[in-house]
Structure 1
Amino acid sequence: MARSRRKRLPVLPMLGILVLGALVTFAGGELLQMARSDTGQVRMARTLGIADGPRLTAVIGRQVRHALDESGMPAESLVVSVVEDGPAAVRWRVGLRSDASLLQLNYAITRTLEQAGASVLSGREGVTSRGATYVTLLAGIPGRPTHELVLARPPREEEPEERPNARLALVLYGFGDETVLAESLMVLPAPFAVAIVPGARGSAAMFGAAHHASREVVLQLPLEPVNYPQVNPGPGTLLVTMRPARVQSGVRHYIDQARPVAAVANHMGSLATQDMTLMTAVYDELRDRRLPFLHVMPAAGAVCRSLASEMGVVYDEPDETLDYEPRAADTRALDKRWKQVLEEARRRGRMMVWVRATPTTARWLRRASLPKQLEGVDLVPLTSVLRKPSPA
């Protein structure tokens, strides 16, 4: 009797079914794995069109926030709003500091989105009417923008220009024959010039002490005052009755006695400074020596300013003269006046101040010249604040 034959299934189709099942299982696992990660969800939405709108928005939002965190943007700089008619359903406004870089933040957001499979779909920049700079980015995947990002940076605040310290030149005067007082003042560390009258008994010693202490010297010419000789500037006074050659010779002699000299000033001279002939002789010598003339307490009818302009001599006047306060027994009046002087110096930017030399001045100056007391004012050499000649 013939044997019955069993039907055998084809081997190749069976293998194909097994392989296909394995692939479906693998693909399903991969899809499941992708669906569990932000990057996978974005890629599924981009390649397969499989995405839930709110979930995709949340995923891309996390990526943008990560970029902001990495860029050091504080949480309070972000303002989130829902937009009905905008290019995306959500608008994020990010406020930057005025010194922050829009370019760097733009780059950080773009790179983070690309790594997650999303992208910046478009971008534009502009400037508001108030000078703020902004960059607007549209983020998401092609065909499905999820976020409108507005990166805004306020205009840079213009830093106020640092105002240089005011320059103040001090000139101490009125030493008379007080050589001990002069020597005690010369050794103080404060920068100041000294005005010395020639012809007195101690003048030569004072000139020497000043030069030894590297002080600028102002030569105070003894000039005839009104009511001379009842009011007497001292020996060697230049009088209006003198011939011009004698006046010029006297000025030359005094300069040679005191040199080097930074400037020449009047000592008294309320009458002489009103006399055109005498002052012309004085200026002839100053012009030859290229020395400025400092007019202390000018008389109402003085010709010195206009004559200096005509003859090309540098002319200047003290901005303040502290004569009364240094005569007090203590420094209170001097402290109060000095405070006013410093305020005025800060306002003007430069000043020349003459201060009478007294024992009170010596006690006061040591403290008043400290940097912490000056507050925005530098004590400078006299020659650095002298004005140029100007027309009358």
Structure 2
Amino acid sequence: MRLLFSLVFLLPFSVLAAPQDTKKVAIVIDDIGYRHTDRAALLLPRQVAFSVLPHTPHGKELATQAWQQQREIMLHVPMESIRGLNPGPGALTSNMTEQHIQDTLQAQIDDIPHVIGINNHMGSRLTQMSEPMAWTMKFLKANDLFFLDSRTSKFSQAEYVAQQHGVPTLHRKLFLDNKLDESYIENQFKKLVRISQRDGIAIAIAHPHPKTLKVLHRMLPTLERHQIELVHISSLIQQSDSQALIAKKAILEHENKPKEKATE
């Protein structure tokens, strides 16, 4: 699986880029692993990726079952938050050395099978720090893994640092279920559709809450009428100089702005 996935990175950009008239959406379900009820997410279409928390009671089992469905598996890496929240076991923190970060990531990869990429769980502090992010990206590069920036802070440097180290990278456009209300989640899904129609591609992150899963089962079939395709997260990976320049510009524009309240 890892070898086949790594071959994607060798394809020319023109092959990986979505045609202008093709609208695509990818959805990642975060926080998989703590609850037995997370297995309800296995009923979602197989294009929906699972991002699994390491060192959790059901993480390894659910990752294996999801992979058997031909679903893509990501590692949901706990990272330090500005707000001092507890990210959970195996968290990457700002006081770690490079070796400690890489050993911690290796232990997580060893715990969760079939991983093809990672995204951050919390991390509003750590993703703003270039050095820990550089150490993280070195590990990803060495292990043929991509990075999805959950964007828990708009000041995140993670995506830009990933591009500096040649790590394939993406970022989420919105969270579907910041509020556990079906009407809110449905409106977020409709916003996802509009973003995809405007930009060509859009990535959403959600969680295995019963209300979220209920809305997804109801709304995912509506993508076809909007001529939007639900795709595997890896199919959206693009590497280009223009992406790196856009990310760098965004970071510079925000350097002198007041800090926002971090989401996680």
Q: TM-score, normalised by structure 1?
A: 0.53
8 A Cα contact 1:165 1:346, kept in partner: no
Runs (4 or more) in structure 1 with deviation over 4 Å come to 371-374
Could you say which residue in structure 1 is the equivalent of 2:28? 171
1:20-41 residue CA offsets vs partner (Å, 9 max, x unmatched)? xxxxxxxxxxxxxxxxxxxxxx
Partner amino acid for 1:198?
P
Paired with 1:316 and 1:221, the residues of 2 have a C-alpha distance of 15
| SS of equivalent to 2:77 | strand
Closer, same or farther in 2 for the Cα pair 1:234/1:307, shift >3 Å? same
How far off its partner does 1:253 sit? 2.0
Instruction: Please state if 1:203 is matched with 2:54.
Output: no
Distance (Å, rounded) in 2 between the aligned partners of 1:344 and 1:274: 26
User: Is 2:49–2:74's contact at 8 Å kept on the other side of the alignment?
Assistant: yes
SS in structure 1 of the partner of residue 196 of structure 2: helix
Alignment match of 1:382 (pick from 233, 238, 248): 233
Sort the Cα spacing of 1:268 and 1:369 in 2 relative to 1 into closer, same or farther, 3 A.
same
2:112 to 234, 258, 268: 258
Shift of 1:243: 1.6
How far does residue 332 in structure 1 lie from its aligned partner after superposition?
2.6
Does the 8 A contact of 2:46 with 2:71 survive in 1? no
Q: CA deviation at 1:248?
A: 0.6
Aligned to 1:213: 69
Q: Distance in 2 between matches of 1:165 and 1:314?
A: 21
One-letter amino acid matched to 1:166 = K
- TM-superposed CA distance for 1:193, in Å, is 0.5
Q: Aligned in 2, Cα 1:190/1:367: closer, same or farther, shift over 3 Å?
A: farther
Amino acid at match of 1:337: Q
Partner of 1:185: 41
Amino acid in structure 2 at the alignment position of 1:351: A
Task: Confirm or deny that 1:360 pairs with 2:216.
Answer: no
Please report the RMSD computed on the Cα atoms of aligned residues, expressed in angstroms: 2.3
Counterpart selection for 2:87 from 210, 220, 233: 233
Question: Residues 328-343 of structure 1 correspond to what in structure 2 (within 5 A)?
Answer: 328=181, 331-343=182-194
Is the aligned partner of 1:304 residue 2:158?
Answer: yes
How many angstroms apart in 1 are the aligned matches of 2:227 and 2:100? 47
In structure 2, what is the equivalent of residue 350 of structure 1? 201
In structure 1, what is the Cα distance between the partners aligned to 2:87 and 2:31? 11
C-alpha contact (below 8 Å) 1:190/1:365 kept by paired residues: no
Distance, in Å, in 2 between the alignment partners of 1:371 and 1:323 is 18
Aligned AA for 1:197?
Answer: L
| 2:47–2:72 CA contact under 8 A, matched in 1 | no
- For 1:357 and 1:374, locate their aligned partners in 2 and report how far apart those are by CA, in whole Å: 25
Whether the 8 Å CA contact 1:233–1:267 is kept in 2: the answer is: yes
Separation in structure 2 between the aligned mates of residue 292 and residue 312 of structure 1, nearest angstrom? 10
Q: Distance in 2 between matches of 1:266 and 1:372?
A: 27
What SS does the aligned partner of 2:167 have? Answer: coil
Larger Rg: 1
Find the aligned partners of 2:48 and 2:36 in 1 and give their Cα distance. Answer: 17
CA distance in 2, matches of 1:220, 1:163: 31
Cα pair distance change 1:341/1:262, threshold 3 Å: same
Q: Please report how far the alpha carbon of residue 374 of structure 1 lies from its aligned counterpart in structure 2 after TM superposition.
A: 4.4
| 1:323-361 per-position Cα deviation (integer Å, ceiling 9, x unaligned) | 324x12xx3332232223212212221111112221012
- The answer to whether the 8 Å contact 1:175/1:196 transfers is yes
Task: Give distance in 2, aligned partners of 1:343 and 1:239.
Answer: 36
CA shift at 1:386, angstroms? 2.1
Please give the alpha-carbon distance, in whole angstroms, between the structure 2 residues aligned to 1:302 and 1:346: 26
Partner Cα distance (2:235, 2:195) in 1: 18
2:178, 2:225 → 1: CA distance? 22
Does the aligned pair in 2 maintain the 1:368–1:374 contact within 8 Å? no
Q: What 5-or-longer segments of structure 1 have no aligned partner?
A: 1-161
Deviation of 1:375 (Å)? 2.2
Aligned identity (percent) is 23
**Matching residue of 1:24:** none
Deviates more, 1:189-198 or 1:232-241: 189-198
Q: Quick one: distance in 1 between partners of 2:225 and 2:141?
A: 35
Matches within 5 A, 1:83-102: none
Higher RCO (C-alpha 8 Å, min separation 6): 2
Q: Distance in 2 between the 1:171 and 1:385 partners?
A: 13
In the superposition, relative to structure 1, how do residues 310 and 324 fare at CA in structure 2: closer, same or farther (>3 Å)?
closer
